[in-house]
Amino acid sequence: MSEARYEIDRRPILIVLVSRLRRQLWIGVLLTLFFLLLGLSPPQGLTTAGWGTLCVFALCATLYATALLPLAITSLLAIALVPMLGILGARETYAFFGSKVVFFILGAFMLSAAMSVTGLSERAATVFVRRFGGTPRRLVLSVFFLCAVGSTVMSEHAVAVMVFPIVRDIARALDLRQSESNMGRGLFFGMFWGCVVGGSLTVLGGGRGPLAIGILEEATQHTLTVGFLEYSLFALPMVIVLLLTGVTLLWRHFPPEIASTATALAELEERLRRMGKVTPREGVVGLVLVITVGLWAVAGEEYGLANIALVSMAALFALGALKWMDVQKHVDWGLVVMYGGAICLGSTMERTGAALWLTEQVFDGVGVGPQGLMMLIALGAAVATEFMSNSAVVAMLLPPALSLAEQKGIDLRAMTMAVVLPTNFAFLLPIATPVAALAWTSGYFRPRVVLRTGLVLNVFAWLAMALLIYGWWPAVGLY
């Protein structure tokens, strides 16, 4: 019988009150500051609407960063404040939410849900690891590459959620001790790094890519975008560097203490046996996935990524592979809402000139060239993402960065990539990304090890960014 247990906070009631209402108190302080700032006259060079937007931006950026409100709610608050303060009309403001990027994200989430619900993703993962995990080192690397590959077609969070129980069962089957097993650490670090690195390669790896593209498109009145294959092309060298770094770290830092993976393979065999044969639903989802990714790659520009995603979803429903209840349960609706609001806020910053004014104030007199500026902003994004959601970093940083790029004559697509790619450098803290948080729950992580290896990855990621900005992007004609 389950029993509830309770803890009684015996501290003085005033302290308890303050600690329990800390969130509300901070929100109260923020709102007070917000209204105080709003009451001030706009600074020189900024319109009243621009000043209002900047106040809303400051409020929402703080809320995104501190997570005092859920990200989605902060986004909705931004959408509501813009027309309420008379910055833009309600019709115009709410229209930003109808960005095609929001629908692309929705489609990608639904596809991911279809793979999870039918068990296709779990089966693929199990087969992959069983096929390539013949020795302890190969088993670790197969988990790393499985997650990297999986995160190119699914959200990295979804991949981590899918692979985590498989890796946990493998660790149990191999009797790996949490406190001392290098093999166990290697498996979970492999999962963690694989998801993060692989997720950087395509726009399907997470919501931040589509969000950044959406903000770029809105800022340029849909004259500029980054295509499905272009995104991967721009990110490729960085991903290769990080994959190599990951393999090296796994190889050097986590030499397995076991000699055989036979028991793990038996466990995976048993897992596959329990799954039974491939069901027609799995087959349909697999087929639709392949066709969808193919269409994104070859016809994404012509038909639009979002349109392809939504038609694929319709096909899944028409073929009976997916039910609406599955979609309701597995899609992260909060993220969809968050992206819509973030795009709205970013666009409003652009329209009212607030983004430009802000970047002028921040970067006025900074004596670096265009590439140096991109490196500087990329560094800001990389540092910020260790402490907050990567999508929130994009929402906060990209609109002013785009204004700055416009002012300094930097290619806007390059600036977009310079912001979005480093937001995935979340190799240190569990709060940085849900993948990291999940990996930490395994019990195999030790802060010292995470810090040591995470810093190495961050340094190499940073070097890879330099390679992109100074060498690769000019070479492939981005600017």
Residues in contact with other proteins by CB under 8 A are 2-10, 13, 16-17, 20
Cα–Cα distances (Å) from 323 to 161, 312, 314, 334, 335, in that order, read: 21, 14, 11, 20, 21
Residue with tokens 């008379």: 86
Q: How many whole angstroms separate alpha carbon 359 and alpha carbon 198?
A: 32
Residue 314 CB coordination number (10 Å): 12
Q: How many whole angstroms separate alpha carbon 174 and alpha carbon 219?
A: 53
Nearer CB in complex with other proteins: 27/33: 27
CB of 334 to other proteins, least distance (A): 24
Nearer CB in complex with other proteins: 16/314: 16
Tokens read off for 49: 């609407």
Contacts 24+ apart (CB under 8 A), 301-304: 301/227, 304/100
Nearer CB in complex with other proteins: 3/364: 3
CB of 445 to other proteins, least distance (A): 22
Q: How many whole angstroms separate alpha carbon 347 and alpha carbon 362?
A: 19
Q: Coil, strand, or helix at residue 222?
A: coil
203: which DSSP letter? G
Nearer CB in complex with other proteins: 17/90: 17
CB of 292 to other proteins, least distance (A): 41
Tokens read off for 15: 């302290």
Nearer CB in complex with other proteins: 21/244: 21
57: which DSSP letter? H
CB of 80 to other proteins, least distance (A): 29
Q: How many whole angstroms separate alpha carbon 392 and alpha carbon 305?
A: 22
CB of 25 to other proteins, least distance (A): 14
166: which DSSP letter? H
Amino acid making up residue 326? D
Amino acid making up residue 336? V
Q: Coil, strand, or helix at residue 47?
A: coil
CB of 5 to other proteins, least distance (A): 5
CB of 48 to other proteins, least distance (A): 42
Nearer CB in complex with other proteins: 14/259: 14
Nearer CB in complex with other proteins: 12/39: 12
